[in-house]
Amino acid sequence: MGQPVRDYLLTLCVAAAVTYLLTGPVRKFAIAIGAMPAIRARDVHREPTPRLGGIAMFGGLCAGLIVASHLFNLGGVFELSNEPRALLSGAALIWLIGVLDDKFEIDALIKLGGQMIAAAVMVIQGLTILWLPIPGIGTVALTPWQGTLLTVALVVVTINAVNFVDGLDGLAAGMVCIAAAAFFLYTYRLWYGYGIEAAAPATLFAAILMGMCLGFLPHNMHPARIFMGDSGSMLIGLVLAAGAISVTGQVDPDAMKLFEGSERQATHAMLPVFIPLLLPLTIIAIPAADLVLAIVRRTWNGQSPFAADRGHLHHRLLEIGHSHSRSVLIMYFWSALIAFGAVGYSVHSASMWIVLVIVFLSAVGLVLLLLPRFTPRAPRWANSMVPPRYRRRRRPAELPADPAPAPEETAAPEAHGSHLADEDADRPRVAVGVSGVNGATAIGTRSRFSDRRKANSPR
């Protein structure tokens, strides 16, 4: 097969276009059938929003696979491997379970059982881990039972990690898109750089996954018009896990012919073999950390690990003082830093500048995390030139005394509208206990806008 960059790009664009075009009709369908659950205590948005976005994403997956099967450079993936069919079978099952959950709110244990069955369906059709490259030992062949258990565990963990992080507009789709982009670069290097055709299915899965997320993001960015729901989050989690399983357990490390030269050279050369063990973990490092912390927190509090709460990482970012959009961008930053840092280190493991860049960007990320704690305040004379959040608040003694209201002013509260607006602008922000419209940070339970209607005027 030749260099299939254009074929991968075409597949990505088709998956993105189909997902984007289907999302609008799916949103109307979700509203028509009532797939708009009531606002829960842990939700960030304040308006009922339709779910079932996973229907459009599943359409993008099917379209990407169909187009890829008819392309010259990618058609061989379907002839030499059964992994695309295994992925489609498992994805259809997990998608159906997600659709039912978005509409009827099925039990968490039933969803967990469905996830295990979907993973087992892929194992039966050949998408499983056959061996593991262990540092210091070499390639270790797994028994069928060991491979099955490890595959099911990886699928379940990845699906739930992505599902747990799906709490803000555009968060899960963006993070998975970043992870898929890093994974595509790594698997394509194995496929084309080393000539290992066994890495071609994982490369195709990553390209289609990027298209699914990119096509859905315009509808899901803040303020979101539709949510992907469990039908979407579990679907993209399964596709991400399938790519990791394919490149980790299907690619033979001996095919890279890296066992030549001195021991030190062989150690550096073997790093691309060991990276598949770490790359899937780095790709879902942020969601996996959120998953582990949620389980520990809920178990410590005597709750079920599946009980919902407002202690996720994105909730904590909002409580610190970040806005909705900034919280999402910070999560994007850390996901990209970890995923692309691992890929870059696998390519040039002997280059110290890569480590220095990662350390520097990590320091920048920490500063961004703590930014609300150190919000600068402008001088009082510059209050009119900066946003309200950066204005220096006046002391109570400096506030002008309000004159006694005239009788006509009592009947016309709109005369004080500008004063109330200025007072609201100087009020400090409170912690995000109550969210604004579609998840925007609120400043209190009352409206930020004064009532400008006359007391005796009709609405």
Q: Is 419's pLDDT higher than 50?
A: no
Provide the pLDDT for residue 122. 95
Q: What pLDDT does 196 receive?
A: 78
90-104 pLDDT, tens digit each: 999 999 999 999 988
Query: What is the tens place of the pLDDT at every residue in 23-76?
Result: 999 999 999 998 886 665 555 556 778 889 999 999 999 999 999 999 988 888
pTM: 0.73
The dihedral of CA 113, 115, 116, 117: what is its sign?
A: positive
pLDDT tops 60 at residue 1: no
pLDDT at 452: 40
Q: Where are the alpha helices (H) located in 350-414, listed in sequence order?
A: 352-369, 407-411
Q: Is the pLDDT of residue 113 over 50?
A: yes
Asked if pLDDT for residue 269 goes beyond 70, the answer is: no
279-332 pLDDT per residue, tens: 656 656 776 677 777 778 778 777 766 666 666 666 677 777 677 778 888 888
Candidates 183, 364, 208, 194; CA nearest to 278 is 183
Are residues 45 and 438 in contact, defined by beta-carbon separation less than 8 angstroms? Answer: yes
* CA distances (Å), origin 244, targets 62, 206, 254: 20, 9, 19
Average pLDDT score over residue span 74-98: 93
Q: Count of CB atoms within 10 A of residue 292's CB?
A: 13
Tell me which of 21-25, 78-82, 85-89 is least confident. Answer: 78-82
Closest CA to 147 of 166, 130, 124: 130
Question: Does residue 259 or residue 250 have the better pLDDT?
Answer: 250
Residue 320, Cβ neighbours under 10 Å: how many? 16
Please write the tens of the pLDDT for every residue from 199-237: 889 999 999 999 999 999 999 988 888 999 999 999 999
**Pairing mode, if any, of strands 138-141 and 131-134?**
antiparallel
- 139: β partners: 133
pLDDT at 265 over 60: no
**Interval 116-138 mean pLDDT:** 84
Confidence of residue 110 (pLDDT cuts 50, 70, 90): very high
Per cent of the chain over pLDDT 90 is 29
Residues 345-379 have pLDDT tens digits of: 777 655 677 778 878 888 887 777 767 655 556 66
Residue 133 parent element (H or E): strand 131-134
**pLDDT given at position 367:** 75
Closest CA to 237 of 184, 170, 284: 284
pLDDT of residue 365: 77
Q: Is the pLDDT of residue 428 over 50?
A: no
The amino acid present at 120, given as its one-letter code, is A
- Please list, residue by residue across 253-277, b when 16 or more beta carbons sit within 10 angstroms of its beta carbon and e when fewer do: beebebeeeeeeeeeebbbbbbbbe
Mean pLDDT of the chain: 75
- Which one is predicted more confidently, 405 or 180? 180
Residue 131 — φ and ψ, nearest 5°? Answer: -150, 165
User: What does the pLDDT read at residue 193?
Assistant: 74
Helix, strand, coil in percent for the chain, rounding step 5: 65, 0, 30
Question: What is the C-alpha separation between 54 and 407, in angstroms, rounded?
Answer: 59
List C-alpha distances in Å: 226 to 37, 98, 326.
12, 15, 20
Q: Report CA 53 to chain centroid distance, whole Å.
A: 14
String of b and e for 361-390 (b: at least 16 CB within 10 Å)?
Answer: beeeeeeebeebeeeeeeeeeebeeeeebe
